[in-house]
Amino acid sequence: MGIAEELRGKALELGFEGLGAVALGELAGYLERVDERERRVPLAKGGYDFMRGLARPERHFPEARSLVVGILDIGRYRIPTGAAGLIGRHYLFDPRRNPRSPEALMVSELTGFMGRLGLKAAANENPGIAPMRWAAWKAGLGVIRQNNFFYTATGSWKQIVAWAIDRELEMPSPPAPAPCPEGCGKCVAACPTGSLSGPYVMNMATCVSYLTNIAPWEADEELLRQMGGWLYGCDACQDACPFNRAGDGTQDFPGLEETARKARPESILAMGLDEIERELAWKFFYIKKESLHCWKLNALNVIANTGRADLVGTVRGALEDPNLDVRLKAAWTLQRLGAT
């Protein structure tokens, strides 16, 4: 048995949904796609630089010759109580930086196995070293649909992991899933902010995931309303997709019920920033340490948009918050709740 077969067999034995490989040369088309996207949706200077940086894994790992790409099925997990419509699934079940994640263990075991096969490998971490969805598609593991998410035959609730390795491998691919039906557009219609305005056309600056995780202060009044009940991330364009029919999973993700309880808007407002860092920021790491007060801004926005009149007392408490932006947002939320 060759290295490729051994590696793939081990991945499937560990519980990966799929494993494939792609030569670095196959990433060339990705840069063209980023250029095309910039022409269609220009962003402030530097908006696409991070994406361009992903196209050359050899910059991070000079011996890289190809990428091995693994697919982990997170659709098997049950969404914790109260987290549906509040936190995006990819963030809930993210294996990165989470030692309790079964998928983190699977990734670490496969990395060790690569070493035993004599492969030199560098894992994709945060920030990444490769364009993951593109690599997974080029490795023949599925398709990128019109909402820009990667799908296998069983939908988009997947985590993609990748390693740059020091040789080229060939692995067989499963049959490609059917393309999006002509004229479907359900994902575009479901996008609450109009960020996804057409097939493969998405404006990162107005996407709820970007606004909640990276830059909540960039949302104007209209966008803040359109963000609805999302606290961290957004699944609307995936939830609406007919290829995600499977619904909620049946297995519990270790420790997640407790974390999800801490991520409820009323819990966030009751915590100090040190507690938010301890309880939430280690897992939901896109909100940086220097911006931890954004958890409170997001919580207040959810309370305003979902009309949580039962939380007026909690919101009043935030009028005393040490952070001026939080105090102002609390006053705005009370106004929105008609409780001034």
Enumerate binding residues for ligand SF4 (CB under 6 A): 145-147, 180, 184-187, 190-193, 195-196, 202, 207-209, 234, 236-237, 240-243
Q: Which is nearer to ligand SF4, 22 or 207 (CB)?
A: 207
Nearest-approach distance from CB 192 to ligand SF4, in angstroms: 6
8 Å CB contact between 30 and 134: yes
The residue type at 148: N
How far does the chain reach from its first CA to its final CA, in angstroms?
72
Q: Which is nearer to ligand SF4, 165 or 237 (CB)?
A: 237
Q: On the CB side of 293, how many CA atoms lie within 13 Å of its CA?
A: 13
Nearest-approach distance from CB 300 to ligand SF4, in angstroms: 19
Q: Which is nearer to ligand SF4, 113 or 200 (CB)?
A: 200
Helix residue ranges per DSSP H, the chain: 3-14, 28-40, 49-53, 89-92, 102-116, 132-138, 186-190, 208-213, 221-226, 236-239, 256-262, 265-270, 273-276, 294-305, 312-317, 324-336
Nearest-approach distance from CB 83 to ligand SF4, in angstroms: 16
Q: Which is nearer to ligand SF4, 64 or 302 (CB)?
A: 302
Count of Cβ atoms closer than 10 Å to residue 276 Cβ: 22
What's the alpha-carbon Rg for the chain, to the nearest Å? Answer: 21
Alpha carbon 325 to chain centroid, angstroms: 26
Residue carrying the six token digits 């593109």: 134
Q: Which is nearer to ligand SF4, 165 or 208 (CB)?
A: 208
Nearest-approach distance from CB 159 to ligand SF4, in angstroms: 16
Nearest-approach distance from CB 146 to ligand SF4, in angstroms: 4
SS3 157: coil
Using the CB atoms, write b or e for 283-321: b if 16+ within 10 Å: bbbbbeeebbbbbbbbbbbbbbbeebeebeebbeebeeb
Q: Which is nearer to ligand SF4, 144 or 273 (CB)?
A: 144
Q: Which is nearer to ligand SF4, 179 or 254 (CB)?
A: 179
Nearest-approach distance from CB 79 to ligand SF4, in angstroms: 16
Nearest-approach distance from CB 224 to ligand SF4, in angstroms: 13
